[in-house]
Amino acid sequence: MTDEFTSTERNQLKGHFSNPDKAVFAIITPSQVDRGALMSRYSRSSNSMRRIFLDEFLTNPNRGERFYERVLSEYGDDSVAELGLVQIGVEGLSNIAIQTVEDRRLGLSFLEKSSRYVFWDKKIDGHFAYYKGKDVMESRHEKAYTSSCELSFETYSKLTAPMLKYMEEVTPIESHTFFDSESNTEKPFSQLTQSQDVQAAQRIYKGTLKARTSDALR
Protein backbone atom coordinates (compact mmCIF):
# COMPACT_ATOMS: atom_id res chain seq x y z
CA MET A 1 0.00 0.00 0.00
CA THR A 2 1.59 3.26 -1.13
CA ASP A 3 0.71 6.87 -0.43
CA GLU A 4 -1.30 9.01 -2.80
CA PHE A 5 0.65 12.15 -3.66
CA THR A 6 -0.47 15.43 -5.17
CA SER A 7 0.91 16.46 -8.55
CA THR A 8 3.22 18.92 -6.76
CA GLU A 9 4.52 16.21 -4.44
CA ARG A 10 5.07 13.81 -7.35
CA ASN A 11 7.23 16.44 -9.04
CA GLN A 12 9.14 17.00 -5.79
CA LEU A 13 9.94 13.29 -5.60
CA LYS A 14 11.64 13.35 -9.01
CA GLY A 15 15.39 13.06 -8.71
CA HIS A 16 15.04 11.46 -5.29
CA PHE A 17 13.14 8.24 -6.10
CA SER A 18 12.94 6.20 -9.30
CA ASN A 19 9.14 6.47 -9.23
CA PRO A 20 6.53 8.18 -7.01
CA ASP A 21 3.83 5.54 -6.75
CA LYS A 22 5.06 1.95 -7.15
CA ALA A 23 5.74 -0.51 -4.34
CA VAL A 24 9.30 -1.15 -5.58
CA PHE A 25 11.60 1.83 -6.09
CA ALA A 26 15.21 2.95 -5.97
CA ILE A 27 16.30 5.73 -3.63
CA ILE A 28 18.31 8.07 -5.84
CA THR A 29 18.39 11.29 -3.82
CA PRO A 30 21.88 12.78 -4.42
CA SER A 31 22.99 12.85 -0.78
CA GLN A 32 24.25 9.44 0.35
CA VAL A 33 23.92 10.60 3.96
CA ASP A 34 20.24 11.37 3.41
CA ARG A 35 19.69 7.96 1.85
CA GLY A 36 21.05 6.14 4.86
CA ALA A 37 19.29 8.39 7.36
CA LEU A 38 16.03 8.06 5.46
CA MET A 39 16.26 4.25 5.55
CA SER A 40 16.90 4.24 9.28
CA ARG A 41 14.14 6.77 9.98
CA TYR A 42 11.74 4.68 7.90
CA SER A 43 12.36 1.58 10.01
CA ARG A 44 11.02 3.43 13.06
CA SER A 45 8.08 5.25 11.49
CA SER A 46 4.58 4.20 10.47
CA ASN A 47 4.73 6.44 7.36
CA SER A 48 5.87 5.43 3.90
CA MET A 49 9.44 6.27 2.91
CA ARG A 50 8.46 8.83 0.30
CA ARG A 51 6.09 10.53 2.74
CA ILE A 52 8.88 10.76 5.32
CA PHE A 53 11.17 12.28 2.70
CA LEU A 54 8.62 14.94 1.76
CA ASP A 55 7.73 15.79 5.35
CA GLU A 56 11.15 15.64 7.00
CA PHE A 57 14.00 15.73 4.48
CA LEU A 58 13.02 17.74 1.40
CA THR A 59 13.16 21.20 3.00
CA ASN A 60 15.77 20.31 5.61
CA PRO A 61 19.19 19.90 3.94
CA ASN A 62 20.94 19.03 7.20
CA ARG A 63 18.37 16.46 8.34
CA GLY A 64 20.43 13.45 7.29
CA GLU A 65 23.65 14.52 8.98
CA ARG A 66 21.89 15.45 12.21
CA PHE A 67 19.99 12.17 12.22
CA TYR A 68 23.21 10.17 11.83
CA GLU A 69 24.90 12.11 14.61
CA ARG A 70 21.97 11.65 16.98
CA VAL A 71 21.29 7.96 16.35
CA LEU A 72 24.93 6.90 16.36
CA SER A 73 25.76 8.89 19.47
CA GLU A 74 22.61 8.02 21.41
CA TYR A 75 21.99 4.45 20.31
CA GLY A 76 25.23 3.23 18.77
CA ASP A 77 23.13 1.70 16.01
CA ASP A 78 25.65 -0.12 13.82
CA SER A 79 22.99 -0.94 11.24
CA VAL A 80 22.67 2.78 10.47
CA ALA A 81 26.36 3.02 9.63
CA GLU A 82 25.95 0.23 7.06
CA LEU A 83 23.42 2.13 4.98
CA GLY A 84 25.81 4.02 2.71
CA LEU A 85 25.24 1.65 -0.21
CA VAL A 86 22.76 1.27 -3.07
CA GLN A 87 19.24 1.42 -1.65
CA ILE A 88 16.12 -0.25 -3.01
CA GLY A 89 12.76 0.15 -1.28
CA VAL A 90 9.99 -2.46 -1.28
CA GLU A 91 6.74 -1.55 0.50
CA GLY A 92 3.52 -3.40 1.23
CA LEU A 93 5.04 -6.85 1.78
CA SER A 94 3.69 -9.33 4.30
CA ASN A 95 6.01 -10.83 6.91
CA ILE A 96 5.86 -14.09 4.98
CA ALA A 97 7.11 -12.40 1.81
CA ILE A 98 9.75 -10.50 3.77
CA GLN A 99 11.24 -13.73 5.10
CA THR A 100 11.32 -15.18 1.58
CA VAL A 101 13.21 -12.13 0.30
CA GLU A 102 15.64 -11.95 3.22
CA ASP A 103 16.48 -15.67 3.08
CA ARG A 104 18.26 -14.88 -0.21
CA ARG A 105 20.42 -12.21 1.35
CA LEU A 106 23.80 -13.07 -0.22
CA GLY A 107 25.53 -9.74 -0.82
CA LEU A 108 22.56 -7.78 0.53
CA SER A 109 21.81 -6.04 3.81
CA PHE A 110 18.17 -5.59 4.79
CA LEU A 111 16.44 -3.03 6.97
CA GLU A 112 12.72 -3.42 7.62
CA LYS A 113 10.08 -1.59 9.61
CA SER A 114 10.63 -2.64 13.19
CA SER A 115 7.62 -3.88 15.14
CA ARG A 116 9.57 -2.74 18.22
CA TYR A 117 9.40 0.91 17.18
CA VAL A 118 6.26 1.04 15.02
CA PHE A 119 2.83 0.30 16.50
CA TRP A 120 0.72 -1.77 14.11
CA ASP A 121 -2.59 -0.38 15.34
CA LYS A 122 -3.78 1.50 12.26
CA LYS A 123 -6.26 0.20 9.70
CA ILE A 124 -5.76 0.36 5.94
CA ASP A 125 -8.95 0.39 3.85
CA GLY A 126 -10.93 -0.62 6.92
CA HIS A 127 -8.72 -3.54 7.98
CA PHE A 128 -5.56 -4.05 9.98
CA ALA A 129 -2.27 -4.92 8.26
CA TYR A 130 -2.33 -8.70 8.15
CA TYR A 131 -1.82 -11.07 5.21
CA LYS A 132 -4.71 -11.06 2.74
CA GLY A 133 -3.52 -13.32 -0.06
CA LYS A 134 -6.03 -14.96 -2.40
CA ASP A 135 -5.03 -18.39 -1.11
CA VAL A 136 -6.63 -17.45 2.21
CA MET A 137 -9.21 -14.80 1.34
CA GLU A 138 -10.84 -16.94 -1.36
CA SER A 139 -10.84 -20.10 0.71
CA ARG A 140 -13.51 -21.52 3.03
CA HIS A 141 -11.40 -20.34 5.98
CA GLU A 142 -11.63 -16.64 5.05
CA LYS A 143 -14.28 -15.69 7.60
CA ALA A 144 -12.62 -17.46 10.54
CA TYR A 145 -9.18 -16.17 9.52
CA THR A 146 -10.35 -12.56 9.13
CA SER A 147 -12.25 -12.61 12.42
CA SER A 148 -9.23 -14.00 14.29
CA CYS A 149 -6.83 -11.45 12.81
CA GLU A 150 -9.18 -8.53 13.42
CA LEU A 151 -9.69 -9.62 17.04
CA SER A 152 -5.95 -10.00 17.61
CA PHE A 153 -5.12 -6.58 16.18
CA GLU A 154 -8.09 -4.95 17.92
CA THR A 155 -6.87 -6.32 21.25
CA TYR A 156 -3.33 -5.16 20.47
CA SER A 157 -4.63 -1.66 19.63
CA LYS A 158 -6.77 -1.33 22.76
CA LEU A 159 -3.87 -2.35 25.00
CA THR A 160 -1.27 -0.03 23.45
CA ALA A 161 -2.02 3.10 25.51
CA PRO A 162 -2.59 1.28 28.85
CA MET A 163 0.59 -0.77 28.41
CA LEU A 164 2.61 2.34 27.54
CA LYS A 165 1.31 4.04 30.69
CA TYR A 166 2.12 0.96 32.79
CA MET A 167 5.68 0.78 31.45
CA GLU A 168 6.16 4.45 32.31
CA GLU A 169 4.91 3.84 35.86
CA VAL A 170 7.13 0.82 36.57
CA THR A 171 10.24 2.29 34.91
CA PRO A 172 10.07 6.11 35.29
CA ILE A 173 12.70 8.21 33.56
CA GLU A 174 14.16 9.11 36.97
CA SER A 175 15.18 5.48 37.48
CA HIS A 176 17.56 5.53 34.49
CA THR A 177 21.00 6.97 33.87
CA PHE A 178 21.95 8.88 30.72
CA PHE A 179 25.04 10.38 29.14
CA ASP A 180 26.14 13.69 30.65
CA SER A 181 28.22 15.74 28.20
CA GLU A 182 29.80 17.85 30.95
CA SER A 183 31.33 14.98 32.91
CA ASN A 184 31.45 12.52 30.01
CA THR A 185 29.83 9.93 32.28
CA GLU A 186 26.44 8.38 32.92
CA LYS A 187 24.26 10.24 35.41
CA PRO A 188 20.69 9.95 36.75
CA PHE A 189 18.18 11.97 34.73
CA SER A 190 17.60 14.40 37.61
CA GLN A 191 21.30 15.36 37.58
CA LEU A 192 21.48 16.35 33.91
CA THR A 193 21.94 20.10 33.53
CA GLN A 194 22.55 20.64 29.80
CA SER A 195 19.40 21.08 27.72
CA GLN A 196 20.74 18.91 24.89
CA ASP A 197 21.44 16.09 27.35
CA VAL A 198 17.94 16.36 28.82
CA GLN A 199 16.35 16.30 25.36
CA ALA A 200 18.49 13.35 24.28
CA ALA A 201 17.58 11.46 27.45
CA GLN A 202 13.88 12.09 26.89
CA ARG A 203 14.10 10.82 23.30
CA ILE A 204 15.95 7.69 24.38
CA TYR A 205 13.51 7.06 27.20
CA LYS A 206 10.51 7.50 24.89
CA GLY A 207 11.99 5.07 22.37
CA THR A 208 12.78 2.54 25.10
CA LEU A 209 9.25 2.72 26.48
CA LYS A 210 7.81 2.19 23.02
CA ALA A 211 10.09 -0.80 22.40
CA ARG A 212 9.20 -2.44 25.71
CA THR A 213 5.51 -1.83 25.12
CA SER A 214 5.71 -3.33 21.63
CA ASP A 215 7.63 -6.34 22.91
CA ALA A 216 5.02 -7.02 25.58
CA LEU A 217 2.07 -6.60 23.21
CA ARG A 218 3.57 -8.77 20.50
Average pLDDT over residues 11-20: 94
pLDDT higher than threshold 90 for residue 95: no
Contact 130, 149 (CB under 8 A): yes
Region 71-99 average pLDDT: 69
pLDDT digits (tens, 9 = 90+) for 172-215: 999 999 999 999 999 999 999 999 999 989 988 998 999 899 99
- pLDDT exceeding 70 applies to what percent of the chain? 89
Which pLDDT band holds residue 143 (cuts at 50, 70, 90)?
A: very high
Could you give the residue ranges of the DSSP H alpha helices within the chain?
7-13, 32-43, 49-52, 63-75, 78-81, 95-102, 134-137, 142-170, 195-217
If pLDDT is split at 50, 70 and 90, which confidence band does 1 have?
Answer: very low
Q: What is the mean pLDDT of residues 100-107?
A: 73
Cα gap 183→191, rounded to integer Å: 11
* 26-57 tens-digit pLDDT: 999 888 888 888 888 888 888 899 999 999 89
Sequence ranges of the domains in the chain: 1-113, 116-218
Please check the confidence at residue 111 and state whether its pLDDT lies above 80.
no
Report the residue count for the chain: 218
Higher pLDDT, 189 or 101: 189
Residue 205 neighbours by CB under 8 Å, 6+ apart: 173, 176, 178, 189
Q: What is the largest CA-CA distance in the chain?
A: 65
> Could you tell me which residue, 110 or 193, shows the higher pLDDT?
193
The stretch 120-139 carries a mean pLDDT of 89
Report the chain's mean pLDDT, rounded to a whole number.
86
- Contact status, residue 2 vs residue 91, Cβ threshold 8 Å: yes
175, with CB counted inside 10 A (0-12, 13-18, 19+), is exposed
Contacts 24+ apart (CB under 8 A), 76-84: 77/40, 79/40, 79/111, 80/36, 80/37, 80/40, 82/109, 83/35, 83/36, 83/37, 83/39, 83/40, 83/111, 84/32, 84/33, 84/35, 84/36
Q: Can you tell me the distance from the alpha carbon of 187 to that of 180, in angstroms, rounded to the nearest whole number? A: 6
